[in-house]
A and B are shown apart, each in its own frame.
Chain A
Amino acid sequence: MAIGRSIKDQRAEKEVFRSRIVISGIIIALALVGISSRLLFLQIVNHDYYLQLSKENYQRRIPTPPVRGQIFDRNGVLLAGNHIEYVLEVIKDEAPDLNPQLDKLGLMLDIEPHIIDKIRKKIRITNRYQPVAIKKDLTDIEIAIFSANRPRFPGFKIALKIERYYPLGSVAGHLIGYVGRIDKKDLKNIDKEEYKGTSHIGKSGIEKTYESLLHGKSGYQLHEVDSGGKHIKLLEEKVPTAGQDLFLTLDINLQTKAEDLLRDYNGAAVAIDPNNGEVLAMASMPVFDPNLFVNGISHKAYSELRDNPSRPLYSRAYQGVYPPGSTIKPMVAIAGLNAGIVDEKSSVYGGGYFQIPGNRHRYRCWKKSGHGFVRMNRAIYQSCDVYFYDLSYRMGIDRFNTELSKFGFSEPTGLDVPHEKSGLLPSRGWKEARHNTQWYPGDSVNIGIGQGYWNVTPVQLAHAVGIVAMRGRRAKPHLLRGVRSNRDNPIDLLPIHLLPDLVLNDDSYWEEPIRGMVNVVHGEGGTARRSAQGAEYRYAGKTGTAQVFGIAQNKTYNAKNLKKELHDHSLFVAFAPLKDPKIAVSIIAENAGGGSKVAAPLAREFMDAYLVEPLPPSEEETQDKKKKR
């Protein structure tokens, strides 16, 4: 029975099995189609995405920073350079006997044990593939000692670090500026990719203005790494392009001279070549040493600079605003001629004070006894206030503003450093907006002698004097003279940036005011005649004394009774030589008193330094120097 059933069943069972095998075969085929479509999705449809992820896994892009361009003065004297420093480093992963070797190195290179302990701590907390500095600023001897023993110290190596430095220290500190560590604020303004390997960026001065030229073009190394971050090999490399070298318009000898001249004062001295706007020197004293900032200035040193009442951090030359005082009288005279208010011959009675008709207020002249009848020439060289009170009162603020704007007083000169101040040439609209009161006729009187609301920066003054010297030719003041992309290349000089000429209604209007300025220094009654004695060239100048402290109607100014910071500022402007001018200067010495007493002789020395060939030192001087040594 069992056999009978079994035979019958065998066939049926086989049928069932057959059909189930076929069904299984179909299901298996479908399942493998399912797996294949998953693979299609991963490998064909989303291939790019996963390839990208794979690259992000194993490729490390290590940026290689460019070498920053150097800064030179017009004669090739280095002002900002790159200090090369050798640092002994160790990579933990490559140093099998780290600890005993550190001790040996400590003995070899004279590193104190407690510093070695600190280094050990640092190594412990650093990624094993990252270098840790052991000794910075290695001397030649130390390098030689280590190099001789190098094979005994696997994993240790000498790395080269480049650091910005300013060889002349504080000289032209404001202008050159400094670099500092890149901070959050900087990150907003830069291409982050470009600065990935760079730690420092220009923070002020030329370093900031020309950051894009100085920085260069960053390169990179594409490394292959494994899952532990260990370097396997170099896949690709792009060499960085060094930044461009900058050649400034500054003559660093003249700059140093200017800073020496102002050593005893808070003040500024600016010298511009009026032919092309090149700034030859621009001193502001006191000044700071930009080297302090490169690696982060200490909190103490910074607060000392910040809290110093003389404010060494800001440049008086382009950020200091002062009443110009009488220095602008030649420009006001030119404005008066051009506006047809006065001519060369018209005279005014300078009786010691000026009164607006119908008003009892007395606008006093610096000379109590007055100058009597004065014409333009003497009004300039003797600096008669009444003449200019009268002139600007009659000209009125609107024409005054229009005419004086032409000398660049209403806006920054466009100097290529950050944060230049614009000064203030007042106008009717300005006063209404600022003080919410109308412009009174009396306001016009004061600005005629460079007082009242009128404020200028020393660079504006020098620029304006330059325009007078060039009879209307205007060149934008600037500090960058040329660039060089490579040590072997010649310097590319930048084109001169000329502004439209200042054209007067009659060219002759330039001459009488300039004659007045010549008489200031060379005339018998000139306010600054003493400072021009023995000059080897003829020049034109104008003194100025800017009031810091308003003196009451019936009082007189007496320096002895006033605090030092309320003393008048001493100003002087000049250009030289008279024929074919090469230099236009402005000088201000704060709280130093009258312009003729302090600023004028300083200006003379300043110009001498540029125009007069230095005499060979005499026998005595040479011997003196030898003794000192």
Chain B
Amino acid sequence: MYNQNPFIFLFIRVFSKLDWVLMGALMVLMGLGAMTLYSASTENAGMIERQMIHFIAAFLVMLLFAQLPSGFLQHTAIWVYGAGLLVLVLVLVIGTTGKGAQRWLDLGVIRFQPSEIMKLAVPLMVARYFSDRVLPPRFIDIFIASFLVVIPVLLIAKQPDLGTSLLVASAGFFVIFFAGISWKWIFSIIVSAMIAAPLLFFYGMHDYQRQRVLTLFDPASDRLGSGYHILQSMIAIGSGGRDGKGWLDGDQSRLNFLPERHTDFIFAVFGEEFGFTGNLLLLALYLFIIYRAMYLASKAKDTFSRLLGGSLALTFFIYLFVNTGMVSGILPVVGVPLPLVSYGGTSMVTLMAAFGLLMGLRDKGRQYD
């Protein structure tokens, strides 16, 4: 029956790669996101249309990535990674500046952020590195893997884009974590990170980044400056109360008190309009997606797929944690969007590509041959 029409056959084959449980959850999340965005953009239909185009593009990319077999990924990882590094260097030299940071590469037709590629390329590369090593990894392997992570992270941090470099670093180190790095090492890294943090604060940060950290501890100290974002965001969430002010009725967002409300701070809009109840349901939905992604990763048949899948699942969590933590005022303001809800095409495409990879890894444990 399938053979009668090759298009139907192809169609069924392509879609059969998808995990419909995860797909369903993602659809619900994106639906909620579109609703919130409609409110955050003060009922701007044009913005919703553009976001819908992002959805469709991201969905197509996901479909494509779901088809890529593990072996192909392992073969191409090194090339993608290498190309990504090259472009990052290019950006530093000739990239255009947006919002005070060099992040964009203008290719004439589209401008894109090369650092986004690294969110996938780094875990791919590190997973590829460990895929034919003896695990648990030896010291030399950990050292080389860390090197593979740190180079692009530093290049991205240099742009400067703290949010993306944080996500890229997470993605890379999660692979090392799943590869079986011993707890002894994990704790020593955490301890040295705690020692390095103040050093980074005083010598490694730009003034605006330092200011963000400072205002985190006392938002009221800078009501009109960088503390304004955090304060207005906390007012939005807090004033939402248990049940929220209702869809389209968030005063903080509707009357323009909440800055960046359709991008990084959209969680505050959601919290204001749907309240604590809505927030818990949203977090539960995210938790479900993360757990499902982790489940898919654990079902993968080869080491490379497992490591990549686990890393992508945890990186998605980092998105969520950093964004909600920053919007609710317990983490410094770094530019991390609320995954699949914030307005923006680039991060949406990257995230859905990651989910595509996750779905494709599920049961394609065989070597590419």
Contact = CB atoms under 8 A, between A and B. Distances in A.
Nearest to B251: A58
A29 B284 CA distance: 10
Contact of A35 (B240, B283, B307): B283
A20 interface: yes
Report, as a range, how many residues of chain A touch the other chain. Answer: 35 or more
B238 A232 contact: no
Contacts of A54: 235-236, 238-239, 251-252, 257
Given A35-B328, A58-B257, A20 B310 contact: yes
Contacts of B328: 35, 38-39, 42
B134 to A, nearest CB: 6
Contact of A28 (B177, B279, B317): B317
Given A35-B283, A42-B237, A226 B256 contact: yes
A43 B242 contact: yes
Nearest to A52: B239
Interface stretch (A8-16, A190-198, A573-581): A8-16
A50 B290 contact: no
A252 B255 CA distance: 57
A20 B135 contact: no
Nearest to A53: B235
Given A14-B306, A17-B298, A28 B290 contact: yes
Contacts of A21: 178, 294, 297-298, 310
Contacts, number: 131
A5 interface: yes
Contacts of B240: 43
A32 interface: yes
A18 B299 CA distance: 10
Interface in B341-361: none
A14 B297 CA distance: 11
Contacts of A12: 135
Contacts of A348: none
A618 interface: no
A227 B232 CA distance: 11
Contacts of A18: 298
Q: Taking chain A's interface residues, is the majority helix, strand, or loop, or is none over half, making it mixed?
A: helix
B245 to A, nearest CB: 9
Interface residues of B, number: 48
Contact of A38 (B135, B255, B298, B330): B330
A10 B303 contact: yes
Nearest to B303: A13
A42 B230 CA distance: 13
Contacts of A17: 178, 180, 298, 306-307, 310
Interface string B260-290: 0000000000010001100110010011001
A47 B244 CA distance: 11
Contacts of B321: 31-32, 35
A24 B309 CA distance: 13
Contacts of A16: 135-136, 178, 180
A32 B310 contact: no
Interface in B214-251: 232, 234-242, 251
Given A21-B310, A36-B280, A38-B329, 16 more contacts: A14-B306, A16-B178, A17-B180, A20-B310, A21-B297, A28-B290, A35-B283, A38-B330, A42-B329, A43-B271, A47-B238, A50-B234, A50-B237, A57-B255, A226-B255, A227-B255
6 contacts: A12-B135, A16-B178, A32-B286, A43-B237, A44-B276, A228-B256
Nearest 8 pairs between A and B by C-beta?
A50-B238, A54-B239, A43-B276, A227-B256, A16-B180, A42-B238, A226-B255, A47-B241
